[in-house]
Chain A
């Protein structure tokens, strides 16, 4: 996850639900009405690049210097890590439509786990990575062979699993499939 990694930039712009813990004048444009203040306990969806920072730093209210400052916002658990989704993952990770849940599910999960040290979610997600990777490997390694050489087409067009992959899985699929294809091509040619 580098600074210039375009997928990371896109993942960072996904909005997370947040609750403001302060009254903040002038920031109403986050809500869509500029010039107005933001009320305390107001719920907003903020992009992760903003929410992550605001959930860490806090304004010190008067006389609270000794205690740990309350951060500006509280990150609420988003829909994609809700118990409903977690149960669906446990039920059958390879049948899950991950792309619909979120196109950047893995990198967001890693970010979320880093922020909150959520070991339970980490366990669930690693299980899912393994299970879905095996499924993906099956699709990636099936290289169709034609008389003229190796065709680019892998599994059936619109194979349902391929549509459900999230962005990082797609990238890995492409790499793995290319590798299998090149090897097969070489074996046929020599």
Chain B
């Protein structure tokens, strides 16, 4: 088909990264794009202005060096690459708050700590592209993130025992974690549902919707 098979029912990790890169993040610019009133009056040297259609370009044109502002992550990474800004790590990405999350994970074996939906992707991106902007040593942050990931994976593994034909509640599971589990969980629950509907076709609340889906698969005679 026109869409490759491995993308038909899920996102690739790169697409997840793309989604996360649309989030705003706080930066310290090292350049000034705000035009002073005086230079505006002279209006001979017109500075190039940034006009964006997918995000707000107001902040981009009002940057003052070392005055923190918010930009979309993709733009921040581009500026960071050219040494034109430094990125402020989000508040949850410090040793202290990561330690808190880890201890929460260990204390509550039945739920996930409330990290943002993009924690894993954002951490990986910032460790890779802006390792010099953290107050805490990056290798320790990295190992905390790794710890968190492993604790949560263990919980996921335990949670998979509860797979059933109707539903599953996964509070606070992040997008990348959901995405890597999606094919397995959806596939297994689909099988369970098929067996369940085979015995009692009426009890299924979505029986109607499934019927129409099947009708689509069937060729018109």
- Measuring CB to CB, which residues of chain A are less than 8 angstroms from any residue of chain B? 1-5, 106, 109-111, 113-114, 117-119, 122, 125-126, 129-130, 133-134, 137, 140, 168, 171-172, 175-176, 178-180, 182-183, 185-187, 190
Point out the residues of chain B lying under 8 angstroms from A140, CB to CB: 184
- Size bracket of the B interface: 35 or more
Q: Is the interface of B mostly helix, strand, loop or mixed?
A: helix
A-B contacts counted at CB < 8 A amount to 97
Please give the distance in Å from A120's CB to the nearest CB on chain B.
Answer: 10
Q: Is the CB of A126 within 8 A of B196?
A: yes
User: How close is B37's CB to chain A, nearest CB, in angstroms?
Assistant: 43
> Nearest 8 pairs between A and B by C-beta?
A2-B217, A186-B13, A176-B184, A175-B183, A113-B198, A183-B180, A172-B187, A114-B198
Complex-state Cα separation, A183 to B12, whole angstroms: 8
Looking at the complex, which one of A168, A175, A179, A187 makes contact with B124 (CB distance below 8 Å)? A187
B residues in contact with A186, CB < 8 Å: 13-14, 17, 124
Within 8 A of A (CB), among B162-221: 163, 165, 176, 179-184, 187-188, 191-192, 194-196, 198-200, 214, 217-219
When distances are taken between beta carbons in the complex, the residues of chain B under 8 Å from A1 are: 214, 217
| Contact between chains at B198 and A179 (CB < 8 Å) | no
Q: Residues on B close to A: CB < 8 A?
A: 6, 10, 12-14, 17, 120, 124-125, 127-128, 157, 160-161, 163, 165, 176, 179-184, 187-188, 191-192, 194-196, 198-200, 214, 217-219
Chief secondary structure at chain A's binding surface:
helix
Is B6 within 8 A of A168, CB to CB? no
- Among B12, B125, B165, B198, chain A packs the most CB atoms within 10 A around the CB of B198
Residue of A nearest to B128 (CB): A190
Q: Which residue of B lies closest to A181 (CB)?
A: B180
Distance (whole angstroms) from the CB of A49 to the closest CB of chain B: 15
A-B contact pairs, 11 of them (CB 8 A): A4-B219, A110-B195, A126-B192, A130-B192, A172-B187, A176-B183, A179-B181, A179-B182, A182-B13, A182-B180, A186-B124
Knowing A113-B199, A133-B163, say if A172 contacts B188 (CB, 8 Å). yes
